[in-house]
Chain A
């Protein structure tokens, strides 16, 4: 059969070689504007956030103030303006349209997709949160509502049905004569279902680089430009570019990063080697020449619209010796700007009208800006300083945002305890008021151990109270510290059950169990292994003398501040167990109190008139609102302990 295939290959290629490349609708220098959004997370309406200095610089508002930003209707105003200002505009979204606000909980994605239709989105990459409620919702909602394609080249059909009916690997868009091949890449690292066969998605995850290379190879003969829109995260985007050849632009998402300038990455193996190659979809080597490829990320929750203005050319004389005419247009220049969706941006009235039925009434939970409910007050200090409910919650939030192996933050980042009851942004800003961006760094085990030695000496000077909070780590300090080594740190490398550290003595580990409860053995850090560590910029700069100062170029910015990171983390949690049983219970009572205050200032809503209905709403809302409890890390659990010398 290989003979047959070979003959066909020769015949086919012979035909093509004799022919010419299909004519494009355009030739000569061209301009294209790509509008880019990502991780809008069901934020249909403006939402309140603390404006940081970066936000202020970008025009989102005045630094240090809390402002309502984002919202589809404002987004539409900006997009409409951009589309009117340039003849050739495409709007691509990098996924995570779903999940993040009560709108998704209540309406199951309908307003988000209808809103995207109205925004004129040309294509969307599949985000991991699109799959939060399983395949059926994606299938039904996108199939009947979406006027734009949902893309994921790295999701390969594994049987009939499932996502195969709604997913496409790529789409070819007509941008006023310029044929733009848009390849989508879905997130796979957080979609556990993809590891099973069969699974309800009827899909398997293909190596992203090879899947994209396959799509590029397929499109090269018939398109002018290849844009890849991904939901992988920045570092994975960089890997993707380095392991492929032929991408012109990457528009990314997933980590909620906001890049003011594109990150330029060399494709085709990163430029190394005398004869660089990449692997195609079939694992075959493909020779290529390195080019610089820009990656842009434009933030999350609709705070900004990325605007990437591309200058393109197809003139071999301009593009140099490595230019391959098969690729048609190459990027010659670009201008990247972030358009703020600020409180000053007027609503598009038509989209506002479309979304009006989905806007929560004044007396309902959605209008209260409640992010979560805390059954108990969360203290920032524990008996050992570091192992505290609020500190642990914050460390877990930072780690989740950075998708890091471990997290280490300073106790000085948290200024107050978090009160029990309904929590809104004001409380979080009060607790974490500093504009101290969250960053991710890569450290060796030895470097992590060194920082805990510093922490141990600091704790020793503070009567055995540490100033660090950690996540996904166990730390054992010796206090008072009278030797060179006073700290041991452990990571969850085993699944050996245990009740105490002694049960893990066989491999010098520590037990995550506390007070006789069972846990698992954590293993000591490996000195030469590399760990991704989420922390704050203050600590990374060497603040509190924990870290050796880490160069700015070695940091990956994750978020602008701890309050926003906490807000994002809390919103993603489940409701408190047993919450919403009766109106007089903690959560409903807290919400009713809020609603009463809200109605006092805006009594026009019918939701304010009926106390009985208000009670029912509060009870129902408490089944939806996230819980700030031990399930999110808000508890003392013995992760940091002190031992006598």
Chain B
């Protein structure tokens, strides 16, 4: 399965690079759309000077609003001051990070420096790509470090062979990631990705690596199939048999096969095995590993694959602009994706023994376009172990106790938009998400409940509820309106209502200390935004 990285860039380039790129990229087959252009256009002469192209993709977003008008700042987490200008963590969607690592509210520039030269041997093409992203929001405050990060720079050599079909060339591609290869992973949806960085927070089993993660991918596109294998390495500090801890290499290998035929149904099967350091416990501790398989079936008519909701809302992510076929297209697409992992952890119930703990997730994504109407939906189920796959979770480095009860995360979200001419696009999104939970409960001698309910929203986002409490499904409704002022600038307005009974916060207790309490469940926010993407 192709990296999310390439998919993102592919989508982003649609409006700018035309139908050929789009067609290539939509099939998810042969690399970046940009490179696809070159693949078609360039002869096999090796005497040409390298071509250099530079492009910058930027989004600037100005927002006025309030993420929660119902609460005073101190009553909410994160704090919600009165209406004001600027982005806020509270604008996050309920389903944010499930399908896209972008929120749509980024002030961000991505700089792409591309080089291309035909190979000296017939059929060979070479390219290099430096992709840097600048978090422009950090420019707003003096003294705040400005973060520039690699977002998928690579070196690539490609050999095109055999019968050439413009829409489906056979090729063998080697792509090496010299800077940051952590986004090379398994899984299409962010929510179901594993073995690498996922989501807006870039959660990853390699987050604790002692240095960068690097990768290389070999991809064979031949006939109706696309096969790839990849290798990741990262160093982790590990206890040594003699002497102090040392850097040791952890390996990740993964690969898969995907269809690239033009039939309405396609599939992709990926497997992977990732090491990420060693479990705590000294030199005799086993290596921490994640092994698994992902399967994705997709099909449809008129649309080759569905675009998952960008975040939960229907306001487009700036780096996820829809392709040309979105305008006036008719069709539908469905994608079913599942992942089954086993993680090597210490067995909580068998001291001294490790165990392979299963972690499962499945999601169904669909999209329907009928002229101006676009309806998308996502349904997903993930067990707590899967939600915690990239972090310490509840019992760090250990399986969940057998005595603990678990509740899987279950969610459904639907979003719809309709194009009212070239300018206006009202949207409506709604969803319900029952968060994953781990429940430990017992009764002491006095008949009082003991234990706790751990609501697991992410690898490092565990919220504790009183023993016996079950998490209550969270509901969100989000109407919005997008007004395009030009091809550059659009205005967005939204209302956001969320009802979440599981949120707690600290409240003033007698003596001035802070103690836990449930937050009032209702949250109502609004935003008025101006967004330019160019």
| Pair B442/A8 contact, Cβ less than 8 Å | no
Does A286 contact B243, Cβ atoms closer than 8 Å?
no
Which among A1, A158, A222 is the interface contact of B440 at CB below 8 angstroms? A222
From A174-182, A298-306, A379-387, the one touching the partner chain is: A174-182
B470 in contact with A217 (CB, 8 Å): no
A221–B201 CB distance below 8 A: no
- CB-CB under 8 A for A159 and B89, given A117-B245, A174-B351, A214-B464: yes
Q: Among the listed stretches B70-78, B306-314, B426-434, which one makes contact with chain A, having 4 or more residues with CB under 8 Å of it?
A: B70-78
Considering the complex, give the chain B residue whose CB is closest to the CB of A120.
B282
> What string of 1s and 0s marks CB contacts (under 8 Å) between A3-35 and chain B?
011001110110111010111010000000000
Our pick among B207, B402, B445, B516 for the contact of A143 (Cβ within 8 Å) is B207
Binary A-proximity of B465-480 (CB < 8 A = 1, otherwise 0):
0111110100000000
Q: Contact at B445–A350, with CB atoms within 8 Å?
A: no
Q: Is B84 an interface residue (CB 8 A)?
A: no
**Chain A residues whose CB sits within 8 angstroms of the CB of B56 once the complex forms:** none
Whether B446 contacts A4 by the Cβ 8 Å rule is no
Q: What per-residue 1/0 map shows which CB atoms of B344-356 lie under 8 Å from chain A? A: 0010111110000
Q: Is B490 an interface residue (CB 8 A)?
A: no
Tell me whether B210 is interfacial, beta carbon within 8 Å.
yes
Chain B, residue nearest A196 (CB): B79
Question: Does A446 interact with chain B (Cβ within 8 Å)?
Answer: no
A97: min CB distance to chain B, Å: 16
Q: How far is the CB of B240 from chain A (nearest CB, A)?
A: 9
Chain A positions within 8 Å of B, measured between CB atoms, are 1, 4-5, 8-10, 12-13, 15-17, 19, 21-23, 25, 114, 117-118, 120, 143-145, 147-149, 156-161, 164-165, 168-169, 171-172, 174, 176-179, 197-198, 204-207, 210, 214, 217-218, 220-222, 279-284, 286-288, 324-326, 350-351, 353-354
Q: Return 17 A-B CB contacts under 8 Å, by A number.
A: A12-B470, A13-B443, A22-B349, A23-B349, A25-B351, A143-B208, A144-B208, A144-B211, A158-B78, A160-B89, A205-B514, A207-B514, A207-B515, A220-B442, A324-B444, A326-B444, A350-B242
Contact with A along B36-69 (1 / 0, CB 8 A): 0000000000000000000000000000000000
Distance in Å: Cβ of B404 to nearest Cβ of chain A: 8
Contacts of B467 in A (CB 8 A): 12-13, 217-218
Contact residues of B between 469 and 515, Cβ < 8 Å to A = 469-470, 472, 501, 506, 509, 511, 513-515
Do the beta carbons of B210 and A114 come within 8 Å of each other?
no
Q: Does B439 contact A (CB under 8 A)?
A: yes
Q: Choose among B237, B402, B443 the residue that contacts A117 (Cβ–Cβ < 8 A).
A: B237
Q: Give the nearest-CB partner of B402 in chain A.
A: A22
Within the assembled complex, what's the spacing in Å between the Cα atoms of A168 and B393? 9
A205 CB contacts on chain B under 8 angstroms? 514
Give the residues in chain B near A168, CB-CB below 8 Å.
392, 396
Q: List, in ascending order, chain A residues with CB within 8 A of B77's CB.
A: 157-159
Task: Closest B residue to A162 by CB, please name it.
Answer: B460
B352 touches A118 (CB 8 A): no
Q: Using Cβ atoms and an 8 Å threshold, which residues of chain A touch B350?
A: 25
Does residue B18 face the partner (Cβ distance < 8 Å to A)? no
Among listed B4-12, B321-329, B333-341, B447-455, interface-contacting one: B447-455
B280 close to A (CB within 8 Å): yes
B residues near A284, Cβ cutoff 8 Å: 466
Q: Which of A161, A282, A353 makes the CB contact (< 8 A) with B466?
A: A282
Give every chain B residue within 8 A of A325 (Cβ-Cβ). 445
- When the two chains form their complex, are residues A326 and B445 in contact, meaning their CB atoms are under 8 A apart? yes
Judge whether A286 and B245 touch: CB under 8 Å.
no
A13 and B441 contact, CB distance less than 8 A: yes
Give chain B residues whose Cβ lies under 8 Å from the Cβ of A282: 466, 515-517
CB distance from A322 to the nearest CB of B (A): 9
Known: A13-B449, A158-B77, A197-B79. A8 touches B468 (CB 8 A): yes
Partner of B450, one of A25, A217, A283: A217
Q: Out of A4, A114, A158, A217, name the residue touching B451 (CB < 8 Å).
A: A217
Q: Are B442 and A221 in contact (CB under 8 A)?
A: yes
CB distance from A309 to the nearest CB of B (A): 20
Complex Cα spacing A378 to B239, Å = 49
Whole-angstrom CA separation of A242 from B160 in the bound complex: 75
In the complex, are the beta carbons of B442 and A164 less than 8 A apart?
A: no
Main secondary structure of the interface of A (DSSP, over half): mixed
Which B residues lie within 8 Å of A4 (CB)? 470, 472
Bound form: Cα–Cα A281–B211 in Å:
39
Task: Give the residue among A22, A147, A161 with the most B Cβ atoms within 10 A.
Answer: A147
* A550 CA to B124 CA, complexed, in Å: 90
Is the CB–CB distance between B515 and A279 below 8 Å?
Answer: yes
Contact A174 B245 (CB under 8 A): no
Q: Which of A117, A145, A165 has the most CB of B within 10 A?
A: A165
The tally of CB-CB contacts under 8 A between chains A and B is 201
Chain A residues with Cβ below 8 Å from B135 are none
CB of B421 within 8 Å of the partner chain: no
Residues in B whose Cβ lies below 8 Å from that of A17: 443
Report yes or no: B352 in contact with A160, Cβ–Cβ below 8 A: no
Q: Is B259 an interface residue (CB 8 A)?
A: no
CB distance from A209 to the nearest CB of B (A): 8
Of B348, B396, B454, the most chain A CB neighbours within 10 A belong to: B396
Q: A149 to B392, alpha carbons, bound, how many Å?
A: 10
Of the residues A9, A15, A145, A210, contact of B509 by C-beta under 8 Å: A210
Query: Which B residues from 384 to 430 make CB contacts under 8 A with A?
Result: 391-392, 395-396, 398, 401-405
In the complex, A174→B347 CA distance in Å? 10
Question: Is there an interface contact between A210 and B515, defined as CB atoms closer than 8 Å?
Answer: yes
Closest to B278 in A: A147
Taking the nearest CB of chain B, how far is it from the CB of A161, in angstroms?
Answer: 7
A179–B348 alpha-carbon span in the complex (Å)? 9
Within 8 A of A (CB), among B58-117: 73-74, 77-79, 89
Within the assembled complex, what's the spacing in Å between the Cα atoms of A309 and B122?
75
Binary interface encoding of chain B residues 227-256 relative to chain A, with 1 for a CB under 8 A from any of its CBs, else 0: 000000000011100111100000000000
- List, in ascending order, chain A residues with CB within 8 A of B445's CB: 324-326
Q: List, in ascending order, chain B residues with CB within 8 A of A144's CB.
A: 208-211, 237
Q: Are A172's CB and B348's CB within 8 A?
A: yes
User: Looking at B245, B391, B501, B517, which has the most chain A CB atoms within 10 Å of its CB?
Assistant: B245
**A169 CA to B78 CA, complexed, in Å:** 20
Whether B461 pairs with A157 at a CB distance below 8 angstroms is yes
Also in contact, A117 and B506, with CB within 8 A (given A177-B352, A282-B515)? no
The reply to whether B405 and A12 contact each other, CB–CB distance below 8 Å, is yes
| CB < 8 Å neighbour of B79 from A176, A198, A206, A280 | A198
Q: Which of B201, B403, B443 touches A160 (beta carbons < 8 Å)?
A: B201
Residues on the A chain within 8 Å of B521, using CB = 1
Bound-state CA distance A148–B237 (Å) is 11
By a CB distance below 8 angstroms, the chain B residues around A117 are 237, 239, 244-245
What's the Cα separation between A490 and B454 when bound, in Å? 51
Closest residue of chain A to B501, judged by CB? A1
Cα(A461)–Cα(B350), bound, Å: 76
CA distance A13 to B348 in the complex (A): 22
Cross-chain contact of A12 among B280, B468, B511, B516 (Cβ < 8 A)? B468
Q: CB-CB < 8 A to B439: which residues of A?
A: 12
Query: What CA separation (Å) do A159 and B67 show in the bound complex?
Result: 14
Q: How far is the CB of A389 from chain B (nearest CB, A)?
A: 35
Q: Which residues of B contact A15 (CB under 8 A)?
A: 405, 441
What B residues does A218 contact at CB under 8 A?
A: 440, 450-452, 454, 464, 467
**Which chain B residues border A281 with CB–CB below 8 Å?**
464, 466, 515-516
Which B residues, 278 to 315, have Cβ-Cβ distances below 8 Å to chain A? 280-282
Q: Is the CB of A21 within 8 A of B244?
A: no
Cβ-defined contact, A16 with B443, below 8 A:
yes
Whether A283 and B509, one on each chain, are in contact in the complex, defined by CB atoms closer than 8 angstroms, is: yes
Rounded to whole Å, the gap between the CB of B222 and the closest CB of chain A is: 41
**Interfacial chain A residues near B460, Cβ < 8 Å:** 164-165
Contact partner of B401 (CB less than 8 A), chosen from A114, A178, A204, A222, is A222
Please indicate the chain A residues that have their CB under 8 angstroms from the CB of B281 in the complex. Answer: 174
A23 to B526, CA, bound (A): 51
Nearest CB in chain B: distance from A467 CB, A: 39
On whether the beta carbons of A221 and B468 are closer than 8 Å, the reply is no
